[in-house]
Structure 1
Amino acid sequence: MDQINKLIPLWKQLYYKWKSLRTIPLRKKFFVGYDLTGNTYWEFFVERKKGIRPRRLYQPYKPQEFIVDYYENIPVQWLQWLRYTRLRPPSLEELVEDKMRIERIQQLAQLKDQQLHYKELQKDEAIGRSMEKALRNIKK
């Protein structure tokens, strides 16, 4: 939450809260939420007919030119929501938990890599010692 408060000023958070109200008449575009990097997600209706699902939209925090794929920067949970495979948008707590889970997995993977590298070094040293021993035996 602190990350969002630093990224998005209070006045803009209040503006988004107001834009998320669905009870205001004639409003077609509704704010749904944002992710940890400040990207915003919206729903809008082209026509207000029963049975027509709303369209979903992603607006990047800082739009950049010449980016091939904006979707590589979107969290998986929001991508699922955009593609209608998820009914409800993800909460900020869920995004934070997922980010912490990914960081833990990366740390564990790094530790495992170090462990494998250490074992390889031990094997190399053992092979080097056995070769030295064999060379000493040949010289005698």
Structure 2
Amino acid sequence: MSSAFSSPLTTLWRNWKTLKLPWRRRWLAGSDLVGNTYWYFRPTLSTPRARRIMQNNPKIPYSDLNISPAWHQWLRHTRPAPPSLAEQQADIQRQIQLKQNALLADARWAAKPSVMDAPRRGNLQLGIGDGEVEGTVGGRWEEGRKTGIGEVKDNERSEGEQRERNSEIEKKIPWAREKRGPGEGYQPQSWTPGIARR
């Protein structure tokens, strides 16, 4: 249970306190990296199962106490043996490596294009006339926005040109057919509040 930085007197004291002598009600199980000590404790000598308690380091304020998961498991009797100092140091290294891996994963995730981003012009070249098919990856996302190849706006096209364009699209891409329904041309009206009746 001794660490590399403890004095010989401290090591001797810890070894003495670790011994489970028959007249002892309390004996040392180990310590963590910040100086908290963990003890086995029996209220009476005839108690068959020893309780487990922690004695905090008096130099650390209560608000800064942080019990590691391994010691927490030991206190809750879900872990039979207390963790060694080497195991605790390896756990600290694992946490540091986990944080670095999380930062790398966040950077990879941020580098990928998001679905919420506006579509970029030229994402998908379909070769359909002068514009792109609406509803595709490279489609226009704003009404009346100029397309990449032809500089003609949708609302400036004549009906004949629009029909020709639609038939050309239907020949090349069958799922791009226009679906005409009763509410296809519906546009919401602006609302202005009136005077409320009393």
Which TM-score applies when normalising by structure 1?
0.71
Q: Percent identity?
A: 35
Letter in 1 for 2:17: K
What corresponds to 1:41 in structure 2? 38
How far is the alpha carbon of 1:91 from its aligned partner?
Answer: 1.2
Which ranges of structure 1 fall in alignment gaps of 5 or more residues? none
CA separation in 2, counterparts of 1:129 and 1:96?
A: 53
Shift of 1:103: 1.5
In 2, Cα distance between equivalents of 1:9 and 1:136: 79
Residue in 1 aligned with 2:80?
A: 87
2:25 counterpart of 1:28: yes
Larger Rg: 2
Instruction: Name the CA distance, whole Å, in 2 between partners of 1:34 and 1:128.
Output: 62
- Describe the shift of the 1:135–1:60 C-alpha distance in structure 2 as closer, same or farther (beyond 3 A): farther
Determine if the alignment matches structure 1 residue 115 to structure 2 residue 108: yes
CA distance in 1, matches of 2:76, 2:55: 15
| Residue pair 2:17, 2:27 contacting (<8 A) in 1 also | yes
**What is the 5 A alignment of 1:1-140?**
4-6=3-5, 8-23=6-21, 26-49=23-46, 52-61=48-57, 62-65=59-62, 67=63, 70=65, 73-120=66-113, 127=120, 134=147, 138=151
Shift of 1:86: 1.2
Question: Can you list the C-alpha shifts for 1:23-74, whole angstroms capped at 9, x where unaligned?
Answer: 3x53221111011222110112111116x21121111223425x3x95xx11
Structure 1 residue 13 displacement after superposition: 3.1
1:35 & 1:64 partners in 2: Cα distance? 16
User: When you count helix as a share of all residues, which structure comes out higher?
Assistant: 1
- The alpha-carbon distance between structure 1 residues 127 and 64, as it changes in their structure 2 partners (threshold 3 A), is same
Aligned residues: 130
For 2:147 and 2:12, how far apart are their aligned partners in 1? 77
CA contact (8 A) 2:71 2:82 kept: yes
Q: Aligned partners of 1:36 and 1:128: how far apart in 2?
A: 57
Take 1:11 and 1:126, find their aligned partners in 2: how far apart are those partners? 70
- The amino acid that maps onto 2:67 is I
Per the TM alignment, residue 119 of structure 1 is displaced from its structure 2 partner at its CA by 2.4
Determine the C-alpha separation between the residues in 1 that align with 2:118 and 2:12.
Answer: 63
The residue type equivalent to 1:54 in the other structure is A
Aligned-pair Cα RMSD in Å: 3.4
Question: Which stretches in structure 2 are left out of the alignment for 5+ residues?
Answer: 124-139, 141-145, 153-198
